[in-house]
Amino acid sequence: GDPTMYEQFWEKTGEKATIVIPGWQSLSYFSDISNVCWFLEAEFAGEVRRLHKLVGNANTDDRHIVVGTGSTQLYMAALYALAPTDTSKQPIRVVSAAPFYS
């Protein structure tokens, strides 16, 4: 969806929401080449896990954190992460409840 629906909130929040990213951080596209989500910053993944634990809406133990800039990217990332890694030429089965997009 379009995050501009939160624009008023972020404008009122102002400087309290300022984030500083050091110039040396994220110089490469690869933050962890051993992870299926190789561009996911380890610190960000830790904060996602901490937030879900704090809110209590999801168990992230022994789970993958999948990130993206939109629902289509997240969907594709999840499919990639769940896809079999063998050399089988068989397509993977995908089941989705309506609404679904192709």
Q: What is the pLDDT of residues 47-90, one digit of tens each?
A: 999 999 999 998 999 888 877 777 778 887 777 777 777 756 77
Q: Tokens standing for 77?
A: 């990332």
For range 1-21, the mean pLDDT: 86
Look up the pTM and report it. Answer: 0.55
Q: Is the residue at 4 inside a domain?
A: no
Q: Is the residue at 73 inside a domain?
A: yes
Band of the pLDDT at 94, cuts 50, 70, 90?
low
Q: Is the residue at 17 inside a domain?
A: no
Q: Is the residue at 98 inside a domain?
A: no
- Domain of residue 76: give its range: 31-83
DSSP secondary structure string, the chain? --GGGGHHHHHHHGGGG-----TTTT-SS-S-TTSSSTT--HHHHHHHHHHHHHHTS---TT------SSHHHHHHHHHHHHS--S---SPPP---PSS---
Q: Is the residue at 2 inside a domain?
A: no
The pLDDT value recorded for residue 57 is: 92
**How many domains is the chain partitioned into structurally?**
1
d(CA 82, CA 24): 32
Q: Is the residue at 22 inside a domain?
A: no
Band of the pLDDT at 11, cuts 50, 70, 90?
very high
Q: Is the residue at 65 inside a domain?
A: yes
